[in-house]
Structure 1
Amino acid sequence: MTKTLKKHFVKDLYNRIFDFNTFIYDKNNLSDLSLLHISKQLFSENTYFESRIKNLIDSSPKNCIYIVKDNYEINYLIFVFAEYDFLFCGPFLTENHGNFESIKNIIKKNNIKMERFIELQRYYMELPVINVNKVLSIIDTLKKYNYLEDMKIEFISESLQKIEQDFQSIEELEDKMAYYKEIYTIENQMMEAVSLGNEEKAIEMFNQLDPSRLGLIQRDYLEYHKSFYTILNTLLRKSIESVGVHPYFLNEISRNFAHVIVSENNIDNFENLALDMIKKYCEYVVKFTLNNYSPNVNKAINYININIHHKITAKQVSDFLFLNNSYFSTLFKKEVGLTITEYINKRKIEIVKDLLINTDLKINEIGSYIGIYDANYLTKLFKKTEGVTPSEYLQIRH
């Protein structure tokens, strides 16, 4: 494999394994490198970051791998090759810094205005948290198979951001810290309520968060709302992630709401959007939380939910797990309280009810969507489950 192919192989490998950016740069053309750094979030124009990276690379021996941590506790992985280019990975965190105490310490350390708190929170919550030992393990494996040849590893602590902020008195900073700590407490209570599927409590706590006071005051008002609700989406995702909701469903719901937030251009719609987000995330907790089940039942439920739009049988589920159908059916009924078939039908009917209320689709179209192609059978199944036909259900709900 040529050196060029090796570089691209390493780039693609890290991009697939870790959820961070990977780029191959020419050291003489770093014009967009600063876009990756937090300085672009806080300061509209700042080339200090890219100049520091360029100086680091120019003064460094080639065939070297740098693991860099900056003054914001943000990490970068830099592969300096013998040629003119280098592989840049990051930014990423090695531990969670999205919590109140971490952001408070970073603000104090770098003398950042507290008005930047929400922006910092959003930035840190969106960064992936990567185990540095896993990074090193992959480097060792790549070296073993000659993808990285004899590249040595160095750890560097660098001040990659030139801070130029107005002085803040300790009293001013502490007053603002107290306010943001109160906000964090409310956020945590809201997240706890969502993780329990308690929609009423979650909405109560959300209503105590006053968006008009939460930073970004000098920014475009619409853009501010989008930032606030992007943070809310991230908080809600973390809430249901903590109780074992499968990543497939985490990505499904958070991606859908992220698209809505970006696309929304009417400020008046955001309040209803928040209530809808909380409701849907709480519903996902009820539907997809698997902490109370054994590993095989967890896998079965995830398999069913991921494939719910297709025809699924109990035997297919057992075969997927390489388990005896009779044995696993008994285990599933014992833990879930429903047979595999009953659970499949229950999930399909939940989708039918949602589509009946929120779309104009006919019952045969809905059936095709969930893998039931006989409209008469679906109508009978619906009545058996809900006690009324689909048309009667629709009349009752309207």
Structure 2
Amino acid sequence: MDQNELLNFVRNYFEEMRIHTRLIDAPYKWDDAFDLNLRRTLLKDCSNVISTFFRPEENFHEKHLVYFIKDLFWCYYLCIPIPKAGQKRVLTVGPFAMEDATLGFVQSLARRLNIPEIHIPFLSQYYTSLPVLRDKSCIRSILTCLCSRLYDGPYRILPQECTGELPVQYDTEDSFGRNQDVSDSIELRYKNEQALMDAISRGDYTSAREYLNTGNSYGMEQRLADTTRDKKNYLIIFNTLCRKAAQYGGVHPVYLDELSSRFAIQLETLYSVSRLEALPAEMIYKYSLLVQNHSTRSYSPLIQRAVDLICLNLRDDLSLSTLADRLSVNKTYLSTLFRRETGSTLTDFVTDRRISHGIYLLNTTSEPIQEIASVCGIADLSYFTKIFRRKKGMTPSQYREMIRGNQ
């Protein structure tokens, strides 16, 4: 593995845990993104940033000195010199925490550093957003594996704790502006959330995806130190919102419960942050598809009941006579009303629903096509393939390959 591949692997490893990494070339200049704007928010004069951070030994590149840093504000970083001919480069990792940030921890730190009380809400949010690595031996093992491949000669991993030069001058301006920004962000998030639900209730996946992307631009604040658990909790809420949106769209609870349960099981078995982050897009796609295929919102109560009977009993006999008997209505009246409201004969509607449900199952499951045809009430695979091709212009197998290629 060459140096670039090694660095990419290490960076991906930390980024997967939601810990920021950066490659920086000399001369090194302070960037507010380095500490996620902690000092920019707290300090009155950011020119004294250097007094709150660590200072490496001279020529630490040549000495292969790797730093495991705890700064003045109890945030942790790694500083790793990267061998590069004719250039001084470091890989920085952080900030991250080594323990959960309770309110008591934040208040104790604020007292120790004389941080004004107006900054307590910001500090609480900041520290709970940091990923937590509780095991120092794990970090040391990662560094040992990296350094043994990165350097030809000996190296040292040095713990570095910055005690700082107190007193530090903090910003004590009225926090009204910052609070207003937070209020505006929350209002925007709820407005966008409602727009996303409205789009799902219409089965409009394209608009729902746009609202989802807009929402991701300002995001949800992290409330737990455990990043994976925090994301799972958010996705439980998001799954509920999507289910309610599809319910508003006129989807029968049976379908909603099936899909909602499937997502609930799926997200609890996932531990990859990147996979969890991809799940909201999958949720809105499948709930929108559910609305497209199973919404009865525009029908009268009688036709809603008829459609529900059809959709929930696709394996059964769904002739006009059978449905009229089950609904206790005259079959001529049912046929006339059904065609008036749906624009389709009952026979054509049943066939269309069977194929639409087949499309839904091809999109949401990996079941064999023969089993899908049977679930849809068409035991003859050849006939299922024939009418599927008539509707979609391709066979079920071709359709499944197409959707896999687009994922």
Q: So what's the TM-score if we normalise by structure 2? A: 0.51
Matches within 5 A, 1:93-172: none
Aligned residue number for residue 233 of structure 1? 239
Counterpart Cα distance in 2 of 1:380 and 1:213:
46
1:154-207 C-alpha deviation (Å, 9 max, x unpaired): xxxxxxxxxxxxxx9887755533321121112112122222222122111111
Instruction: Look up the SS of the partner of 1:265 in the other structure.
Output: coil
1:262-289 C-alpha deviation (Å, 9 max, x unpaired): 2221111123311111111112222222
Query: Quick check: 1:302 aligned with 2:308?
Result: yes
Counterpart Cα distance in 2 of 1:326 and 1:344:
17
Aligned residue number for residue 284 of structure 2? 278
Instruction: Give identity over the alignment, percent.
Output: 32
When structure 1 is superposed on structure 2, of 290-299 and 177-186 the one drifting more is 177-186
Counterpart Cα distance in 2 of 1:273 and 1:208:
16
Aligned residue number for residue 347 of structure 2? 341
Q: Supply the RMSD in Å over aligned alpha carbons.
A: 3.4
Alpha-carbon contact 2:185-2:218 (below 8 Å) kept: no
Aligned residue number for residue 365 of structure 1? 371
Count of residues paired in the alignment? 239
Alpha-carbon contact 2:314-2:375 (below 8 Å) kept: no
Alpha-carbon contact 2:293-2:356 (below 8 Å) kept: no
Q: State the 1:253 CA deviation.
A: 2.3
Q: State the 1:368 CA deviation.
A: 2.4
Counterpart Cα distance in 2 of 1:343 and 1:353:
15
Counterpart Cα distance in 2 of 1:355 and 1:230:
23
Match of 2:328 among 322, 328, 351: 322
Counterpart Cα distance in 1 of 2:401 and 2:290:
26
Match of 2:209 among 195, 203, 213: 203
Q: State the 1:249 CA deviation.
A: 2.4
When structure 1 is superposed on structure 2, of 330-339 and 280-289 the one drifting more is 280-289
Alpha-carbon contact 1:311-1:372 (below 8 Å) kept: no
390 and 223 in structure 1: CA distance in 2 versus 1, 3 angstrom threshold: closer
Aligned residue number for residue 191 of structure 2? 185
Residue 315 of structure 1 aligns with an amino acid whose one-letter code is: S
Residue 269 of structure 2 aligns with an amino acid whose one-letter code is: S
1:191-225 C-alpha deviation (Å, 9 max, x unpaired): 22222222122111111223885233442000111
Instruction: Look up the SS of the partner of 1:210 in the other structure.
Output: helix
Aligned residue number for residue 33 of structure 1? none
Query: Quick check: 1:352 aligned with 2:353?
Result: no
Counterpart Cα distance in 2 of 1:356 and 1:341:
23
Aligned residue number for residue 96 of structure 1? none
113 and 248 in structure 1: CA distance in 2 versus 1, 3 angstrom threshold: farther
Alpha-carbon contact 2:324-2:330 (below 8 Å) kept: yes
Residue 278 of structure 1 aligns with an amino acid whose one-letter code is: I
Match of 2:295 among 289, 313, 329: 289
Q: So what's the TM-score if we normalise by structure 1? A: 0.52
Alpha-carbon contact 2:228-2:273 (below 8 Å) kept: yes
Aligned residue number for residue 263 of structure 1? 269
When structure 1 is superposed on structure 2, of 307-316 and 199-208 the one drifting more is 307-316
270 and 198 in structure 1: CA distance in 2 versus 1, 3 angstrom threshold: same
Instruction: Look up the SS of the partner of 1:207 in the other structure.
Output: helix
1:224-256 C-alpha deviation (Å, 9 max, x unpaired): 111111121122122222233222222222222
Alpha-carbon contact 2:335-2:346 (below 8 Å) kept: yes
1:123-170 C-alpha deviation (Å, 9 max, x unpaired): xxxxxxxxxxxxxxxxxxxxxxxxxxxxxxxxxxxxxxxxxxxxx988
Counterpart Cα distance in 1 of 2:294 and 2:201:
11
1:322-375 C-alpha deviation (Å, 9 max, x unpaired): 112222112111111111121111121123345556766555433322232233
Instruction: State the structure with bigger RCO (CA 8 A, min sep 6), 1 or 2.
Output: 2
1:75-124 C-alpha deviation (Å, 9 max, x unpaired): xxxxxxxxxxxxxxxxxxxxxxxxxxxxxxxxxxxxx97979xxxxxxxx
Alpha-carbon contact 1:311-1:370 (below 8 Å) kept: no
**Gap runs ≥5 in structure 2:** 1-101, 104-119, 126-173
